[in-house]
A and B are shown apart, each in its own frame.
Chain A
Amino acid sequence: MRCLVTGGNVKVLGKAVHSLSRIGDELYLEPLEDGLSLRTVNSSRSAYACFLFAPLFFQQYQAAGPGQEALRCKILMKSFLAVFRSLAAVERSVEKCCISLGGRSSRLVVQLHCRYGVRKTHNLSFQDCESLQAVFDPALCSNVLRAPARVLGEAVLPFPPALAEVTLGIGCGRRVILRSYQEEEADSTVKAMVTEMSLGEEDFQQLQAQEGVAITFCLRELRGLLSFAESANLSLSVHFDVPGRPAIFAVKDSLLDGHFVLATLSESDLHSPAPRSPELRRLVPPLQAHSTPHLDDFANDDIDSYMIAMETTVDSEGSRAVPSTSLSPGLRPPCSPGPYSEDNEAEASTQPGTPPPKKFRSLFFGSILAPAHSPPGPSPVLAEDSEGEG
């Protein structure tokens, strides 16, 4: 693989890497025919992010050497980010950026051609990997809203940077409401401040959603995409469904597209929140009235339901909606022992060293292959990433 990025696009690439770094610790780089894809997933598998840079984004783009199969690799996010650490410096001094993989080098080579003839070469070690693919389809989401990233950036401004979760919903009068979500601790005497931002329908380029629908997701994970979209002056669209089903945040222009897929709290996770404002008071009951527990098709002991579907072949069916794994209160997830098993599923416990306890389950990495069509060969899931799983 060999791609050459020049001019302002180097900074765009850098900014994309920065936003991916907010999600996961490993970057999956895969040169495809329709462009270079950079993907990552967080450790609890509740957030997936992907940028696809079209061939036209590059001055030169060669996915694979002649007669060679495209290589794909997984690198430490930290290492790749270090190349683009200071975006200001990148903008100031980098003229070209060349990324190459394969050939004689057993490293991913990122070479920055800077001003005054300075050339910085980064040789990053990588691991071979299977393709990281989350299955999702924005078209299947019943609710969409779209606004310039700047509007959404301003909308999240009142929320503290440390705030983890936020609820996004449609209140009465078709107002879009963002409210800080705090898990209530029963024994806590110190209540947290609740912040709510309400925007009018006119601020949105598209608003196709019912009043009363709301989802709760991790704002921290979205901030990366928001800041990327703001800097690139793009619109951000949010596709979502019922609570529990993943929400898809997307940006797109002629040269690239980005998708951040974040898990949302399901009905059983949401405590009945105290109605905060008249608008949301109406928001809450409909939420509960419309809840339809989804029975997981793979609810039993199929360990794959909770893991990333690793494709070894191109999926010719195209992307499909993932079967929902949001469980009705009656069902409990099996306690799978595999390295990807979501430790937080069985109980909302805090384990030292793990990411903050999340009630989000790894919902959307459903097995896209029904048991009858399981690919032959070793189950790559368990073998491949075990060293990466902390």
Chain B
Amino acid sequence: MKFRAKIVDAACLNHFTRVSATIAKLAKTCTLRISPQKLNFIVSDKAASGGVSMWCELEQENFFSEFQMEGVSAENNAIYLELLSENLSRALKTAQNARALKIKLTNKHFPCLTVSIELLSVSSSSRIVTHDIPVKVIPRKLWKDLQEPTVPVSDVSIYLPVLKTMKSIVEKMKNISNHLIIEANLSGELNLKIETELVCVTTHFKDLGNPQSDIVRNKIIHFDLLHEDVSLQYFIPAFS
């Protein structure tokens, strides 16, 4: 198994760092799947993550100037690594003023993802930061649990309102109740509601579009984020 990749473009690096930071906020542990064309961050719906699952996909050529990988075998040309998402995020954050960033799979008494960053420096000599992120190689027999979830047939699908607005509303609601009720219909209306013994608060959003494709099903809420070269799908199981 081999993996080595390099990022030289500052914008790509920045973007990759932000994706990694987002993953770190969503899940403590995640699986990084490396294949010839793509990188995936996967959180499977085990009990540990509270039933939440996530699938994030990046086209590698949009980020890396060099990318070489050799999977477990020719027929199974992929590598699945389990790691603490915070480690990767922290490592990437130190690459603020980097000339180049290299990632490779190494074995330093235990498997690691080594992130090596060459920093811009005022003096003539370069400064190099190296992070060895311990990883666990996931054996092939467990790969079946880490495949892209099929998008379930949904009852309602809707475009969300401006995320910043939604975020600030949900954050305030978080202080009042642990459970959030989401109601949406095919007329572009979305309600976010919390109910407690003392109070009931509802925020109504109107005139949101309803896309063609199906997203929400009774039991699972599927959030699909599409942004430039990254797609992130987040599944939250519903209570009822």
Contacts from A to B (Cβ < 8 Å): 154-155, 157-158, 160, 190-203, 274-277
Q: How far is the CA of A201 from the CA of B127 in the complex (A)?
A: 10
Query: Do A193 and B108 touch across chains, with their CB atoms under 8 A apart?
Result: no
- Contact for A197 among B109, B123, B128, CB less than 8 A: B128
- Taking CB atoms, residues of chain A closer than 8 Å to B132 are 193-196, 276
Query: Do B108 and A202 touch across chains, with their CB atoms under 8 A apart?
Result: no
Query: Do A196 and B125 touch across chains, with their CB atoms under 8 A apart?
Result: no
Q: How far is the CA of A202 from the CA of B121 in the complex (A)?
A: 11
Query: 5 closest Cβ contacts across the A-B interface?
Result: A200-B125, A191-B134, A158-B94, A274-B109, A194-B132
- Contact for A198 among B87, B128, B133, B134, CB less than 8 A: B128
Q: How far is the CA of A202 from the CA of B126 in the complex (A)?
A: 9
Most B CB contacts (10 A, CB to CB) among A158, A160, A193, A195 go to: A193
Asked whether B90 is an interface residue with its Cβ less than 8 Å from the other chain, the reply is yes
Query: Do A195 and B108 touch across chains, with their CB atoms under 8 A apart?
Result: no
Binary CB contact string for chain B from 125 to 143 against chain A (1 if under 8 A, 0 otherwise):
1111111111000000000
- Taking CB atoms, residues of chain A closer than 8 Å to B84 are 193
Q: How far is the CA of A200 from the CA of B84 in the complex (A)?
A: 31
Cβ of B115 to closest chain A Cβ, rounded Å: 9
Binary CB contact string for chain B from 86 to 130 against chain A (1 if under 8 A, 0 otherwise):
010011001000000000000011100000000001011111111
Closest Cβ neighbor of A193 among chain B residues: B87
- Taking CB atoms, residues of chain A closer than 8 Å to B134 are 190-193
Q: How far is the CA of A200 from the CA of B127 in the complex (A)?
A: 7
Cβ of B76 to closest chain A Cβ, rounded Å: 26
Closest Cβ neighbor of A199 among chain B residues: B127
Q: How far is the CA of A274 from the CA of B134 in the complex (A)?
A: 13
Cβ of B63 to closest chain A Cβ, rounded Å: 21
- Taking CB atoms, residues of chain A closer than 8 Å to B91 are 193, 195
Query: Do A277 and B130 touch across chains, with their CB atoms under 8 A apart?
Result: yes
Q: How far is the CA of A277 from the CA of B87 in the complex (A)?
A: 19
- Taking CB atoms, residues of chain A closer than 8 Å to B109 are 274
Q: How far is the CA of A199 from the CA of B119 in the complex (A)?
A: 10
- Taking CB atoms, residues of chain A closer than 8 Å to B127 are 154-155, 197-200, 203
Q: How far is the CA of A160 from the CA of B130 in the complex (A)?
A: 14
Q: How far is the CA of A354 from the CA of B91 in the complex (A)?
A: 32
Query: Do A203 and B125 touch across chains, with their CB atoms under 8 A apart?
Result: yes
- 6 A–B pairs (Cβ distance < 8 Å), ordered by A: A193-B90, A193-B132, A194-B132, A198-B129, A200-B127, A203-B127
Q: B residues 44-101 with Cβ under 8 Å of A?
A: 84, 87, 90-91, 94
- Taking CB atoms, residues of chain A closer than 8 Å to B124 are 200, 202
Query: Do B130 and A200 touch across chains, with their CB atoms under 8 A apart?
Result: no
Closest Cβ neighbor of B133 among chain A residues: A193
- Taking CB atoms, residues of chain A closer than 8 Å to B94 are 157-158, 195
- Taking CB atoms, residues of chain B closer than 8 Å to A197 are 127-130
- Taking CB atoms, residues of chain A closer than 8 Å to B129 are 158, 195-198
| Dominant secondary structure at the B interface | mixed
Most B CB contacts (10 A, CB to CB) among A155, A160, A198, A274 go to: A198
Closest Cβ neighbor of B113 among chain A residues: A193
Q: How far is the CA of A277 from the CA of B110 in the complex (A)?
A: 14
Q: How far is the CA of A200 from the CA of B128 in the complex (A)?
A: 9
Cβ of A13 to closest chain B Cβ, rounded Å: 31
Q: How far is the CA of A201 from the CA of B126 in the complex (A)?
A: 10
Closest Cβ neighbor of A277 among chain B residues: B130
Q: How far is the CA of A192 from the CA of B84 in the complex (A)?
A: 10
- Taking CB atoms, residues of chain B closer than 8 Å to A196 are 129-132
Known interface pairs A203-B121, A203-B123. Does A198 touch B130 (Cβ–Cβ under 8 Å)?
yes
Q: How far is the CA of A207 from the CA of B234 in the complex (A)?
A: 52
Query: Do B123 and A195 touch across chains, with their CB atoms under 8 A apart?
Result: no
Query: Do A191 and B131 touch across chains, with their CB atoms under 8 A apart?
Result: no
Cβ of B47 to closest chain A Cβ, rounded Å: 19
- Taking CB atoms, residues of chain B closer than 8 Å to A194 are 131-132
Q: How far is the CA of A192 from the CA of B128 in the complex (A)?
A: 20
- Taking CB atoms, residues of chain B closer than 8 Å to A160 are 90
Closest Cβ neighbor of B128 among chain A residues: A198
Query: Do A200 and B133 touch across chains, with their CB atoms under 8 A apart?
Result: no
- Taking CB atoms, residues of chain B closer than 8 Å to A201 are 125
Q: How far is the CA of A154 from the CA of B126 in the complex (A)?
A: 13
Cβ of A177 to closest chain B Cβ, rounded Å: 9
- Taking CB atoms, residues of chain A closer than 8 Å to B90 are 160, 193
- Taking CB atoms, residues of chain B closer than 8 Å to A190 are 134
Query: Do A195 and B131 touch across chains, with their CB atoms under 8 A apart?
Result: yes
Additional pairs, 15, CB under 8 Å, beyond known A157-B94, A274-B108: A154-B127, A158-B131, A193-B84, A193-B87, A193-B132, A195-B94, A197-B130, A198-B127, A198-B129, A199-B125, A200-B121, A200-B125, A201-B125, A202-B124, A276-B130
Closest Cβ neighbor of A154 among chain B residues: B127
Binary CB contact string for chain B from 162 to 201 against chain A (1 if under 8 A, 0 otherwise):
0000000000000000000000000000000000000000
Cβ of B155 to closest chain A Cβ, rounded Å: 42
- Taking CB atoms, residues of chain B closer than 8 Å to A199 are 125, 127
- Taking CB atoms, residues of chain B closer than 8 Å to A195 are 91, 94, 129-132
Cβ of B101 to closest chain A Cβ, rounded Å: 13
Most A CB contacts (10 A, CB to CB) among B130, B131, B133 go to: B130
Cβ of A127 to closest chain B Cβ, rounded Å: 43
Closest Cβ neighbor of A158 among chain B residues: B94
Cβ of A149 to closest chain B Cβ, rounded Å: 15
Query: Do A202 and B130 touch across chains, with their CB atoms under 8 A apart?
Result: no
Cβ of A115 to closest chain B Cβ, rounded Å: 38
Cβ of A200 to closest chain B Cβ, rounded Å: 2
Q: How far is the CA of A202 from the CA of B94 in the complex (A)?
A: 22
Most B CB contacts (10 A, CB to CB) among A155, A158, A276, A277 go to: A158
Q: How far is the CA of A202 from the CA of B127 in the complex (A)?
A: 11
Cβ of B22 to closest chain A Cβ, rounded Å: 19
